Chains A and B, each alone.
Chain A
Amino acid sequence: MQPDEILKNQLNYRHTLSQDGKYASELSTYLQITIANSYFVIPISEVGEVSEFLPIRPYPSEVAGHVGVINLRGKVIPVISMEQFGGRKESKPNSRIVILNTDTTASNSEQLALIVDSVKKISAPSAESGNVITLDNNPVRVLSGGLILESWGIKPCSR
């Protein structure tokens, strides 16, 4: 089975079609990320920055969905696992780190980090997170920090 077909099967997607059957014409800027041969896009407005790979400090106790923390210029940011989206546990030496700004509750705005294989800035039809857009004739799912946290059932708490 081709990777594209696997992706199609994996995703329960909804195309953002307008009434006349054409794709919505409005374009948005996304960060396209690659994780183990799967492609996803994240709205650029959610992306804080993309960093070279940084050493990850694992938590003293293993918790599902959590990889550990990184030190980004003195700020300690939690790394969230992408295993739900086909990511591996271990990272490749040339992996990148994507920092997302999440505004998941009214009282908290936190940052999270993801380990990805590669990144690219692209323009594509606007769509809500969780939806699927077509990119180079391939279905690609729109992700967001909130969606990734939700996939693990992680709820932000105040500390």
Chain B
Amino acid sequence: MASHESTYRATTRLGKWMDARLPMARLMHGQFVDFPTPRNINYLWTTGGILTFFLVLQIATGIVLAMHYVPSAAEAFNSVEHIRRNVNYGWLLRNMHAVGGSMFFLAVYIHIARGLYYGSYKAPREVLWILGVVILLLMMATAFMGYSLPWGQMSFWAVTVITNMFSSLDSIIPGLGTRIVQWLWGSYAVSGATLTRFYSLHYLLPFVIVGVVGLHVWALHVVGQNNPTGLDIKTASDSVPMTPHAVMKDAFALSVFVILFAWFVFYLPDYLGHHDNYVEANPLSTPPHIVPEWYFLPYYAILRAIPDKLLGVIAMFASVVILMFAPWLDTSRVRSSKYRPIYKWFFFLLVISVIALGYLGSKPPEGAYVFWARIFTAYYFIHFLVIMPIVGVIETPSNLPRSITESVLGAGGGPVKVKAPAAPETR
């Protein structure tokens, strides 16, 4: 479906000369101008464009911030304050970068939830989906290392707690975990050596993300976009050209999203952070209550829900990696939850669980908080390992429209020439 006749025509002499040597404009035209986009995609399909915007924005602001930031244990904290107070527009660049990270995660979680609801991980989009999970992992690593750079108390102790997770390997091979952690630190405790290597990697990883995003978009353009019906594009009337239809919709949604972003940048730049991070890192004193940034709270709740150190760490990483297996855990022959009367409710239960885990992750690990964190952690894994495979088999999907066109225009509408099968895929 992605291989369509190119409508690109070079008009200028330079354009024709270039087209015969490096047909870049032709490639861009085919992939982003007349690329066939399902005619029924809703606003949830604009998150991809929003994510691209934030990736570019984070790199652009980051490059300029790196010109003023000093990656040393003695100077890092002061240099961030220097950026905020002395550097021309430093306050704006720093706020955009810090809030941009949060917005990036907000958009990616909506993007992932949309994929889960509409079955965008199902054949033939498995590789596309797995690349997406790889991007999520890279984003998490980048955000974690970036958060260490201001060298405040939360930065320091977040690095301490997260890197110490690897010391849980000591319970498998004594000494191995300690060796790994000292290697990560470059010292016997988190120190300036740790800061400089995190800075180096924080600069590198975004470009790795750009590379994997390239593969993600490539895979998307091979198999084509999913849509709210989960049906494939079968006839010309099922799709519209990406430009202007999808692009204008993306631009509008991005504008609205950027208003939210701007509100935080200009009015609440520190709301999403933690006040303890405006206290310089002190290796001899732990803040009374350590919490990660909001976008890591659900994972943190899972880590703390499990009383065993090693198993807690394993469960935390498994909660992300398990997403990679969704294409094979879901046994339903229907993609979109819109036509899955039972699974739909379990999906909403999953969303509630993740939000509840986020709330519990921000609370101290005691009493009822631990109890509920265990309940929701259990549901999170049960959802993927038990409900996805079983509901797919026992559930009777509701009637699907015969085509994307029919879902938009009704049964009589549109030139439906091919009789569409009820199942969007052959299993």
Say whether A and B bind each other.
Answer: no
